[in-house]
């Protein structure tokens, strides 16, 4: 069972790597050719996977071939297949072939980009590829970019920078035990992502410091109520620190009125961060460019290529007009990280809380080149076409209703069969059952949300493998399963 190279020290020998690498590539090629051979939502029960594995690491090493066989046999059944063309849950994020190969190359180089000198290409390709993306989205060059792992971390840095701007001497003196400090407020809408809540908690501002502004009937933040809330807080001695607007909220992909929110923030001198984690990619399509209107007035914004730009998880792009302030908040160079070129180059470790950075820019660069601007636009347009198609079917059917506009590629809907009155509780039971029944087929996976108290099904199109027939099948399942007892 043992490879010949196991008996010596060092790494897997290169010829074994080549042979086993081909084997892994074959597995992936076969998998990506037919991800729908698996049920999209894993069917294992809690604990099944853990119970199938020994409690201790093996004493002797094993051949990669048998590890890969166990992966296929024991691990893959516990995978929910984000590559399945019927994956319509959450945001249907999608990787891609060139992205997978870029990740393999990046893992092989194992370059750690904390300093420019620890791999100049990591720093400079990040700058170049984020420049490409910025121009594709039509954002001004004044936005300097940096790559983090997730939007949670991007937004955390946005709000940490807002705190640096708002709280005197916060870096050195902190916040507790300073009776001279007021309370601060961060604003977002009632549709904003939970990462804002977590950032506010982590930064020590307290969850109560987050004020959720009501949204309008189309789930967009009411900018008038935001302005009113800021005034009210000021009068009460609470200092407005930051506002977070969203382009593409998680439940409905609604787009906040960023222009008006920016105007309110400018009047109050408040940091504006825009969460475009999902919606930002759409701005690459000329007809959707207006979705980012006003974002050029923001202090910072985040867009996640790992959501809707064919990039394997994780890669979050953070753009900021005041990266100097972010560096002021976080840069800190111990002696063992000092370099002669520090004044002349960017050291990524200065731009955040994580010291180590893996080489994520490589996949973004390879993906943008492989598909080209044209190919990216065509795919985004197709996803939006499929969502509108589905929305049209819902609208035309007397037993279903749509619960939100469809600005991008997510449809919010529910069943509401004609011919009787329904209470909200009954509709929730009905739709929760319908959702479970659809997901139990293994052909599709949808998730839910609540909109104004209404239990809502979400169909999110975003995977590169999703075609019209998959969306049509989801619709067929919704209609037929609704009729079953």
Applying the rule CB under 8 A, the residues between 438 and 467 that interact with a copy of itself are: 447-450, 458, 464-465, 467
Which residues between 243 and 302 bind a copy of itself (CB under 8 A)?
A: 250-251
Closest approach of a copy of itself to the CB of residue 277, in Å: 10
Q: Given candidates 36, 138, 150, 212, which one binds a copy of itself under the rule CB under 8 A?
A: 150
Judged by beta carbon, residue 193 or residue 260, the one nearer a copy of itself is 193
For residues 476 and 247, what is the distance between their CA atoms, to the nearest angstrom?
31
CA-to-CA distance for 290 and 5, rounded, in angstroms? 58
Residue 286 or 417 having the CB closest to a copy of itself: 286
Span interacting with a copy of itself, options 125-133, 265-273, 291-299, 414-422, rule CB under 8 A: 125-133
CA distance 253 to 406: 7
Nearer to a copy of itself, 142 or 202 (CB): 202
* Residues 183-222: x where in contact with a copy of itself by CB under 8 A, - otherwise, as a string: xx--------xxx-xxxxxxxxxxxxx-------------
Closer to a copy of itself by Cβ: residue 166 or 301? 166
> Residue 239 has which token pair?
């200092």
Among 36, 44, 472, 481, which residue interacts with a copy of itself (rule: CB under 8 A)?
44
Minimum CB distance to a copy of itself, residue 13 (Å): 8
Residues 346-375 contacting a copy of itself, CB under 8 A: 353-356, 358, 362, 366, 368-375
* CA pseudo-torsion sign 470, 471, 477, 479: negative
Residue 220 CA to residue 190 CA, distance in Å, equals 9
Binding piece for a copy of itself, criterion CB under 8 A, among 211-219, 289-297, 325-333, 416-424? 325-333
Kindly identify the residues of this chain, within the stretch 385-444, that bind a copy of itself according to CB under 8 A. none
Interface with a copy of itself, residue 324, by CB under 8 A: no
The residue within the footprint of a copy of itself, chosen from 156, 223, 262, 326 (CB under 8 A), is 156
Q: What is the DSSP letter of 44?
A: P
Number of residues that bind a copy of itself (CB under 8 A): 176
SS3 of residue 303 by DSSP: strand
Q: Which is nearer to a copy of itself, 93 or 261 (CB)?
A: 93
First to last CA, the chain: 53
One of 30, 287, 395, 424 touching a copy of itself (CB under 8 A) = 30
Phi (first) and psi of residue 175, to 5 degrees: -125, -30
Report how far residue 325's alpha carbon sits from residue 13's, in angstroms, rounded to the nearest whole number: 47
Query: Which one, of 457, 332, 350, lies nearest residue 123 by Cα?
Result: 350
3-class secondary structure, 166: helix
* Burial environment of residue 288 by CB neighbours within 10 A (0 to 12, 13 to 18, 19 or more): buried
| 376 dihedral zone (left: phi>0; alpha: psi -120 to 50; beta) | alpha
């Amino acid at each position: 069972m043992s490879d010949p190279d196991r008996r010596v020290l060092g790494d897997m020998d290169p010829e074994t790597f080549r042979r086993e690498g081909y084997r892994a590539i074959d597995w992936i090629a076969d998998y990506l050719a037919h991800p729908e051979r698996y049920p999209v939502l894993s069917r294992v029960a809690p604990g099944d996977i853990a119970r199938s594995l020994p409690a201790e690491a093996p004493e002797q090493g094993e051949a990669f071939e048998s590890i890969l066989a166990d992966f296929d046999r024991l691990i893959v059944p516990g995978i929910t297949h984000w590559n399945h063309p019927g994956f319509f849950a959450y945001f249907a994020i999608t990787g891609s072939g060139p992205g997978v190969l870029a990740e393999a190359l990046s893992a092989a180089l194992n370059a750690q980009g904390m300093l420019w000198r620890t791999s100049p290409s990591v720093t400079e390709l990040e700058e170049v590829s984020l420049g490409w993306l910025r121009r594709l989205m039509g954002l001004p060059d004044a936005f300097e970019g940096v790559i983090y792992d997730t939007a949670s971390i991007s937004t955390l840095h946005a709000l940490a920078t807002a705190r640096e701007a708002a709280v005197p001497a916060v870096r050195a003196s902190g916040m507790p035990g300073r009776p001279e400090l007021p309370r601060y407020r961060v604003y977002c809408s009632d549709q904003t992502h939970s990462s804002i809540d977590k950032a506010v908690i982590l930064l020590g501002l307290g969850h109560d410091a987050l004020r959720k502004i009501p949204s309008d009937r189309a789930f967009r933040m009411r900018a008038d109520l935001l302005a009113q809330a800021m005034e009210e807080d000021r009068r009460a001695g609470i200092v407005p620190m930051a506002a977070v607007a969203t382009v593409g909220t998680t439940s409905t992909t609604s787009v906040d009125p960023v222009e008006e929110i920016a105007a309110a923030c400018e009047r109050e001198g408040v940091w504006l961060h825009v969460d475009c984690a999902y919606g930002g990619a759409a701005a690459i399509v000329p007809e959707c460019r207006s979705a980012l209107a006003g974002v050029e007035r923001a202090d910072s914004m985040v867009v996640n290529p790992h959501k809707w730009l064919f990039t394997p998880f994780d890669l979050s792009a953070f753009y900021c007009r005041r990266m100097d302030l972010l560096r002021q908040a976080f840069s800190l160079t111990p002696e063992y990280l000092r370099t002669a070129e520090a004044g002349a180059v960017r050291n990524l470790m200065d731009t955040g809380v994580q010291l180590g950075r893996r080489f994520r820019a490589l996949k973004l660069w390879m993906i943008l080149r492989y598909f080209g601007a044209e190919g990216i636009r065509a795919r985004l347009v197709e996803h939006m076409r499929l969502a509108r198609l589905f929305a049209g079917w819902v609208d035309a059917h007397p037993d279903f209703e749509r619960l939100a506009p469809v600005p991008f590629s997510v449809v919010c809907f529910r069943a509401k069969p004609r011919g009787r009155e329904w209470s909200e509780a009954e509709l929730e039971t009905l739709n929760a059952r319908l959702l479970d029944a659809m997901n139990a087929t293994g052909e599709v996976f949808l998730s839910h949300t609540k909109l104004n108290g209404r239990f809502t099904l979400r169909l999110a199109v975003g995977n590169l493998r999703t075609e019209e027939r998959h969306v049509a099948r989801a619709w067929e399942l919704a209609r037929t399963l609704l009729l079953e007892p």
